[in-house]
Amino acid sequence: MGTGIVGFNIAPRCAVLGDTNPHLINFYTAIAQKKVTPGLARKYLLKEGAQLLKVGEDHYYAIRERFNQDHDPLDFLFLSRAGFNGMIRFNQRGEYNVPFCRKPNRFTQAYITKIVNQINATSKLLEMKDFTFHCQNFTETIRLGTSADIIYCDPPYIGRHTDYYNGWEEADERQLFALLSNSPAKFVLSTWHHNDYRANEYVDLLWNKFNILTREHFYHVGANENNRNPMIEAIVTNFDLSLYRYDEPQKPVQLQLLE
């Protein structure tokens, strides 16, 4: 699932969204079940944003400690928007460990309104669509696929940033390849192709038997600007994507609550 932006912007009639990160699944499940609403989010962010402006980064770390104990979905939203570079990262104990973004004025009125509008749009989408959220391994999700389905996979990029919630090693990449190769479903896989310094060896080792589209993408994640470089992304499919293009561009709803 990742941040959910692909599923929410494509907005199919029905979808199964799976991820091993329980906090991500809990957050969107809370929206679907009306436990997180636009009104509650606004009230929460106004309160915690004002406290962040008053106290500074100590309040961010207090929220982070509270989240690691109680796992409140609103605290998860706060941390994802006030953490460094919008990263979502956990240590080996499963604790959120992203440092503060060093912007005490992070939650301005305009920014809170933007977040609340995103929650409202997501909530309305989930009312209209048959979306279910599952905290489970990718193997379980892929095995649900039938010939009538399209599976979109967004795994951690092998050999790069693999500390999102759990690791991603060669065995995982090969298992993913085997499952998708044998699935009756169509699939779309996001991965990295190469950058200025090295290439993704698994593109040649595994994925080259399928259709591969590439596109340049700039990464804003990195402790310093030297680590923020353009990357050639790879979209791997077992069908011809050109058959599914529309005559007119489809306007996305730009839903990305966690960024």
Residue 224: is its pLDDT beyond 60?
no
What are the tokens at 24? 């991500």
Q: What is the mean pLDDT of residues 55-82?
A: 97
- Smallest CA-to-CA distance from 69 within 99, 105, 93 is with 93
Residue 109 DSSP one-character state: H
Residue pair 63/79 in contact by the 8 Å Cβ criterion:
yes
Range list of β-strands (E), the chain = 14-19, 130-135, 150-153, 186-194, 211-218, 230-237
Tokens 């499952």 map to which residue?
A: 179
Mean of pLDDT over the chain: 89
What are the tokens at 192? 């990295």
In this predicted structure, what is the pLDDT of residue 258? 63
In this predicted structure, what is the pLDDT of residue 249? 47
- Name the band, by pLDDT with cuts 50, 70 and 90, for residue 204: very high
Domains (range + CATH), the chain: 5-21+131-244 (3.40.50.150), 27-128 (1.10.1020.10)
Q: What are the backbone dihedrals phi and psi of residue 162, each rounded to the nearest 5 degrees, phi first?
A: -120, 20
CA distance linking residue 52 with residue 101, whole number of Å = 12
How many degrees, rounded to 5, is the angle at CA 220 between CA 215 and CA 226? 100
H or E element: which one contains 62? helix 57-70
In this predicted structure, what is the pLDDT of residue 87? 85
Edge to edge, what strands does the sheet with 230-237 contain?
150-153, 186-194, 230-237, 211-218
What are the tokens at 210? 């399928």
Q: What is the mean pLDDT of residues 171-189?
A: 97
What are the pLDDT digits (tens) for 2-22?
888 899 999 999 999 999 999
Strand-pair category, 186-194 with 211-218: unpaired
Cβ neighbours, 10 Å, residue 203: 18
Task: Give the residue with greater pLDDT, 6 vs 166.
Answer: 6
- Name the band, by pLDDT with cuts 50, 70 and 90, for residue 252: very low
What are the pLDDT digits (tens) for 89-140?
898 888 999 999 999 999 999 999 999 999 999 999 999 999 999 999 999 9
